[in-house]
A and B are shown apart, each in its own frame.
Chain A
């Protein structure tokens, strides 16, 4: 093979791509980062919580300059029925101080900031450039990418595909055996504008402290969940919907968001807010079940492209997995290029790094969680049952004496139509996953 144009080409300027480019460029490799939008982060709809501790390895004291909206110091899990809400609310002042925990952020700011580090490390960031396919050498190994620009072929020793949830490159490389709609959810988000002081008052926070509310229920007959995050002077509110159920119910996602916003527990929080943005995006939620092969000769796949998104009910994380996988992909690429072996075997360090760290350890541990969380019982039976139990426990019905909780539980289980063995089975699955 002739001398390639560059050592590493990274496709996609998201968190995975930028971290891969930072690592490879800092190691002295020639790196091109290709982004299809006018700037990294330009097309993102994300408005969630970022857990950036993994950046400690790349950017010391990253919190001093990271473009965050608010540091999450209140974490709530809310269970909704049509008329009830049961919330577990936790807050910690420690999460509002270095080194922090999670932060709400807008990805156009976050990705642009990270890509700046890639550029500073020596990577060339080329925007408005869409990769349309792979270039292969005579042996069939990936040897570069083809872009939509004139004279648009770019050869490289290693291609790192961080091209997002639909990853056409991973599919073209044959890394996905199959894809199934049931493995994806549709995230739909509205960004609402409210003055900062109103948000502070409604959510009982101050300064740059913020709230992350994850919601079970509130999506009607469509399996999924809701979320509400506080930005500095915005709210991100939306739903995550299981695709086959959404199609079967023939409901519009914006109707479901409107329904969530109208819920008695949510409406007072968003009242008077002005809609600034509406967006939607696919999320790879099936975890290990849907993950592709991570490596082939001349190519690695990272971030959403590798389905590295953790949707395990109480843990909803993606950006940290993207940044970590990008970082490890960069390290593996450096290792392979320096060793002069970019074959699948030469790139095996990537899989090893993923397996040895939280990236795959968390996914293995929580492999049953996504299916459990999106199951019909958890979605449609348990929220009502648990909310009814809570309502009866806290309801003072004098002159009747207080009933026993165990008796209420048994009665509500029967009323909800939940079989005891199903409850035990789900409890055991939950315990094995989260325990």
Chain B
């Protein structure tokens, strides 16, 4: 059985070339820990894989120090597109039974790579997992849903599981493992498909502008109240109803239009 931990080397957005501020995301650390636990249970090893430039060797060495048995780096720029990263990884782990990923990385955090990997491998998936239990041949995963609800999943190999950062604390590497990992061999391979730069822009969230009619009201205070809804209970604008899914979706869209969040 092959167990894979997909790890991403992330760096500080303001200091992209400074190794002092780079490393593994907490979510990836959790993923590695689950992979190591599963490997211990099943008596196998863990392959740590990353896609990135030579600086990314750092996370692989950390993984080796913690107990991973093999380390692979697929050569790529730091800003590789998520779909290409997933394709490159999937091409090299076609035989993998269990693939553990962090749910999203600290630098860009789209969280799409695990889903793409699962799609490529035609594997079961449990994404954004907040708790995982390892069983013989399966993983019981808990996902977060709206309203404080939880979704419980039982996934079987081959499967991709992506976990949140607080799900497991990565074990501390032993001193001598750390020393050995510093000189260990990392397999560096080329991607089998082209890897493109991701097109993304980091900017502050800015909601779309929308036209509002002039508020009604006698004086400025009245108009301000109307404009801000300051005296209107937010509950008064909501409604609770039971509908079929298609009707419910239609009703939500209509409400969003009425409230001005969607264009008519």
Q: Is B176 an interface residue, CB under 8 A from the partner?
A: yes
Give the residue name and chain of the A residue nearest to B20 (CB). A39
CB-CB < 8 A to A39: which residues of B?
A: 19-20
Minimum CB–CB distance from B63 to chain A (whole Å) comes to 15
Count how many chain A residues have C-beta atoms less than 8 Å from C-beta atoms of the other chain: 17
Q: Is A152 an interface residue, CB under 8 A from the partner?
A: yes
CB-CB < 8 A to B210: which residues of A?
A: none
Q: Is A32 an interface residue, CB under 8 A from the partner?
A: yes
* Complex contact B182–A149 (CB within 8 A): no
- How far apart are the CA atoms of A129 and B182 in the complex, in Å? 14
Q: Is A38 an interface residue, CB under 8 A from the partner?
A: yes
Partner of A151, one of B19, B20, B176, B182: B176
Interface range on chain B (Cβ under 8 Å from partner)? 10 to 19
Minimum CB–CB distance from B225 to chain A (whole Å) comes to 37
CB-CB < 8 A to A108: which residues of B?
A: 20
* Complex contact B20–A149 (CB within 8 A): no
CB-CB < 8 A to B179: which residues of A?
A: 32, 124, 126
Q: Is A112 an interface residue, CB under 8 A from the partner?
A: yes
* Complex contact A150–B182 (CB within 8 A): no
Give the residue name and chain of the A residue nearest to B173 (CB). A149
Q: Which residues B133-184 have CB closer than 8 A to chain A?
A: 172-179, 182
Minimum CB–CB distance from B26 to chain A (whole Å) comes to 14
Q: Which residues B1-47 have CB closer than 8 A to chain A?
A: 19-20
CB-CB < 8 A to B174: which residues of A?
A: 149-152
CB-CB < 8 A to B182: which residues of A?
A: 124, 126
- How far apart are the CA atoms of A66 and B213 in the complex, in Å? 61
Partner of B175, one of A38, A112, A152: A152
CB-CB < 8 A to A149: which residues of B?
A: 172-175, 178
* Complex contact A129–B175 (CB within 8 A): yes
Q: Please, what's the 1-or-0 string for B59-93, where 1 marks a CB less than 8 Å from any CB in chain A? A: 00000000000000000000000000000000000
* Complex contact A147–B20 (CB within 8 A): no
- How far apart are the CA atoms of A147 and B172 in the complex, in Å? 12
Q: Which residues B168-224 have CB closer than 8 A to chain A?
A: 172-179, 182
CB-CB < 8 A to A42: which residues of B?
A: 20
Q: Which residues A147-181 have CB closer than 8 A to chain B?
A: 147, 149-154
* Complex contact B175–A150 (CB within 8 A): yes
CB-CB < 8 A to B175: which residues of A?
A: 126, 129, 147, 149-154
Minimum CB–CB distance from A354 to chain B (whole Å) comes to 31
CB-CB < 8 A to A124: which residues of B?
A: 179, 182
